[in-house]
Chains A and B, each alone.
Chain A
Amino acid sequence: MKPTADTGAKQGLSGRRAFLGLAAAGAGGLLLAPGVHLMEVAQAAAPGTAAPGANPKVRWGLLIDTTKCASGCTDCVQACNTENGLSGGTRPTDAQWIRKVELKSIKTGRSASLPVMCQHCAEPPCVDVCPTGASFKRADGIVLVDRHSCIGCRYCVMACPYQARSFVHEPLADQKPEVPRGKGCVEGCTLCVHRIDKGGAPACVEACERAGHHAMLFGDLNDPNSAIAKRVREVATMQLRADLRLDPGVRYQGLT
Chain B
Amino acid sequence: MRARFGPAHYYGLLALGGALVLIGLGSAHFMEMHGHIVTGMNNQVVWGLPHVFAIFMIVAASGVLNVASIGSVFGQPIYKPRAPLSGLLCLAMLAGGLMVLMLDLGRPERLIVAATHYNPTSVFAWNVLLYSGMFAIVALYLWTMFERALNKHAKSAGLLALAWRFVLTTGTGSIFGFLVARQAYASAVLAPLFIVLSFAWGLAVFLVVQSAMYAWNAQVLDAAVQRRMARLLGVFVVAAFYLVVVYHLTNLYFERQAAFEAFILRDGGIFPLLLWGGYGLVGTALPLLLLFHPRLAGPRATQAAALLVVLGAFAWLYVFIIGGQAFPLEIFPGYIASSSFGDGAVVHYAPRWPEWLLGLGGVGLAFVLTTVGVRVLDFMPQDDFTAPKAGAKAAS
Q: Do A and B come from one complex?
A: yes
Which single residue of chain A is at the shortest CB-CB distance from B44? A92
- Please tell me if the beta carbons of B119 and A131 are within 8 angstroms of each other in the complex: yes
**A161 contacts chain B at the CB level, 8 A cutoff:** yes
Residues of A within 8 Å of B258, CB to CB, are none
**B123 contacts chain A at the CB level, 8 A cutoff:** yes
**B396 contacts chain A at the CB level, 8 A cutoff:** no
- Please tell me if the beta carbons of B122 and A128 are within 8 angstroms of each other in the complex: yes
**A125 contacts chain B at the CB level, 8 A cutoff:** yes
B:365-396 near A, CB below 8 Å: 376-377
Q: A131-B119, A131-B122, A160-B181 are in contact. List 15 more A-B contacts (CB 8 A).
A: A95-B43, A102-B338, A103-B336, A106-B334, A125-B179, A125-B180, A132-B113, A151-B105, A152-B107, A152-B108, A152-B110, A153-B106, A159-B179, A163-B342, A169-B43
A1-45 vs B: 1/0 string, CB under 8 Å?
000000000000000100010000000000000110011001100
User: Chain A, interface size: which category?
Assistant: 35 or more
**A184 contacts chain B at the CB level, 8 A cutoff:** yes
**A235 contacts chain B at the CB level, 8 A cutoff:** no
The residue among A105, A133, A151, A165 with the most chain B CB atoms within 10 A of its own CB is A151
Which single residue of chain A is at the shortest CB-CB distance from B175? A155
**B253 contacts chain A at the CB level, 8 A cutoff:** no
A151-193 vs B: 1/0 string, CB under 8 Å?
1111101111111011111110000000000011110000000
- Please tell me if the beta carbons of B43 and A16 are within 8 angstroms of each other in the complex: no
- Please tell me if the beta carbons of A151 and B114 are within 8 angstroms of each other in the complex: yes
Instruction: Quote the shortest CB–CB distance from A42 to chain B (angstroms).
Output: 5
Jot down 8 A-B pairs with beta carbons below 8 A, ordered by A: A35-B115, A92-B347, A105-B334, A134-B117, A151-B107, A151-B108, A151-B110, A169-B36
**A244 contacts chain B at the CB level, 8 A cutoff:** yes
Q: Select A241's contact among B41, B116, B331, B348, beta carbons within 8 Å.
A: B331
**B46 contacts chain A at the CB level, 8 A cutoff:** yes
- Please tell me if the beta carbons of B336 and A104 are within 8 angstroms of each other in the complex: yes
Q: Select A103's contact among B113, B332, B340, beta carbons within 8 Å.
A: B332
A:110-128 near B, CB below 8 Å: 112, 116, 125, 127-128
Q: Select B42's contact among A93, A132, A134, A241, beta carbons within 8 Å.
A: A93
Q: Which 10 pairs between the two chains have the least Cβ-Cβ distance?
A: A152-B106, A184-B106, A92-B42, A161-B181, A131-B124, A154-B46, A90-B340, A131-B125, A132-B117, A133-B119
Instruction: Quote the shortest CB–CB distance from B382 to chain A (angstroms).
Output: 14
**A68 contacts chain B at the CB level, 8 A cutoff:** no
Residues of A within 8 Å of B348, CB to CB, are 92
Instruction: Quote the shortest CB–CB distance from B179 to chain A (angstroms).
Output: 5
Assess A92 versus B181: contact at CB under 8 Å? Given A131-B119, A153-B124. no
- Please tell me if the beta carbons of A150 and B36 are within 8 angstroms of each other in the complex: no
Residues of B within 8 Å of A210, CB to CB, are none
Residues of B within 8 Å of A184, CB to CB, are 32, 35-36, 105-107
Residues of A within 8 Å of B105, CB to CB, are 151-153, 184
- Please tell me if the beta carbons of A159 and B343 are within 8 angstroms of each other in the complex: no
Residues of B within 8 Å of A165, CB to CB, are 43
Instruction: Quote the shortest CB–CB distance from B62 to chain A (angstroms).
Output: 20
A191-207 vs B: 1/0 string, CB under 8 Å?
00000000000000000
Bound state CA distance, A156 and B116, in angstroms?
A: 19
Which single residue of chain B is at the shortest CB-CB distance from A252? B332
**A54 contacts chain B at the CB level, 8 A cutoff:** no
**B47 contacts chain A at the CB level, 8 A cutoff:** yes
A:75-101 near B, CB below 8 Å: 90-96, 99-101
- Please tell me if the beta carbons of A116 and B43 are within 8 angstroms of each other in the complex: no
- Please tell me if the beta carbons of B119 and A101 are within 8 angstroms of each other in the complex: no
Assess A116 versus B339: contact at CB under 8 Å? Given A35-B112, A155-B124, A163-B44. yes
B231-254 vs A: 1/0 string, CB under 8 Å?
000000000000000000000000
B:86-130 near A, CB below 8 Å: 105-108, 110-119, 121-125, 128
**B3 contacts chain A at the CB level, 8 A cutoff:** no
Instruction: Quote the shortest CB–CB distance from B344 to chain A (angstroms).
Output: 8
**A233 contacts chain B at the CB level, 8 A cutoff:** no
Bound state CA distance, A162 and B341, in angstroms?
A: 11
B:157-215 near A, CB below 8 Å: 175, 178-182
- Please tell me if the beta carbons of B124 and A39 are within 8 angstroms of each other in the complex: no
Instruction: Quote the shortest CB–CB distance from B96 to chain A (angstroms).
Output: 17
Which single residue of chain B is at the shortest CB-CB distance from A23? B376
Bound state CA distance, A129 and B117, in angstroms?
A: 13
Instruction: Quote the shortest CB–CB distance from A180 to chain B (angstroms).
Output: 14
Instruction: Quote the shortest CB–CB distance from A3 to chain B (angstroms).
Output: 19
- Please tell me if the beta carbons of A185 and B107 are within 8 angstroms of each other in the complex: yes
Residues of A within 8 Å of B337, CB to CB, are 101-103
A31-74 vs B: 1/0 string, CB under 8 Å?
00011001100110000000000000000000000000000000
Bound state CA distance, A226 and B35, in angstroms?
A: 44
Residues of A within 8 Å of B332, CB to CB, are 101, 103, 240
- Please tell me if the beta carbons of B106 and A128 are within 8 angstroms of each other in the complex: no
Bound state CA distance, A129 and B122, in angstroms?
A: 4
Instruction: Quote the shortest CB–CB distance from B30 to chain A (angstroms).
Output: 13
- Please tell me if the beta carbons of B113 and A151 are within 8 angstroms of each other in the complex: yes
**A130 contacts chain B at the CB level, 8 A cutoff:** yes
Bound state CA distance, A59 and B113, in angstroms?
A: 30
Instruction: Quote the shortest CB–CB distance from A52 to chain B (angstroms).
Output: 20
Bound state CA distance, A130 and B120, in angstroms?
A: 9
**B290 contacts chain A at the CB level, 8 A cutoff:** no
**B264 contacts chain A at the CB level, 8 A cutoff:** no
Residues of A within 8 Å of B340, CB to CB, are 90, 96, 99-100
The residue among A34, A39, A94, A159 with the most chain B CB atoms within 10 A of its own CB is A159
Residues of A within 8 Å of B55, CB to CB, are none
Bound state CA distance, A121 and B181, in angstroms?
A: 13
